[in-house]
Amino acid sequence: DHFLHVVLGELLHVRCRRDDVDLAVFAGDIQAAVGGDVELMVDFNQSLATPEAIRRGRILDGEGVSWIEEPVRADDYRGAAE
């Protein structure tokens, strides 16, 4: 299983476990499957370096993702600020 999906009411929290995923296609497929009434959150579980977090965030911008959780380490305040 590449992803862990947790549905909480009208919220879908998706933890991305793989690097070789086309994020725009992935987010679009999920939105198509669950419909527009569900908010989509993507969790990278503190697994990304700052440049990669920014790159992936830009890919997901405009894909209906309402929240990107923990893209960088919790103690990387500078990276989180970027």
Gap between the terminal Cα atoms of the chain: 31
pLDDT score recorded for residue 51: 95
Question: HSE on the CB side for 17, CA within 13 Å?
Answer: 6
Distance CA 8, CA 58 (A): 26
How confident is the model over 25-69, as pLDDT tens digits? 777 787 787 776 777 888 888 888 999 999 988 988 888 788 888
Nearest to 12 by CA among 42, 44, 40, 35: 40
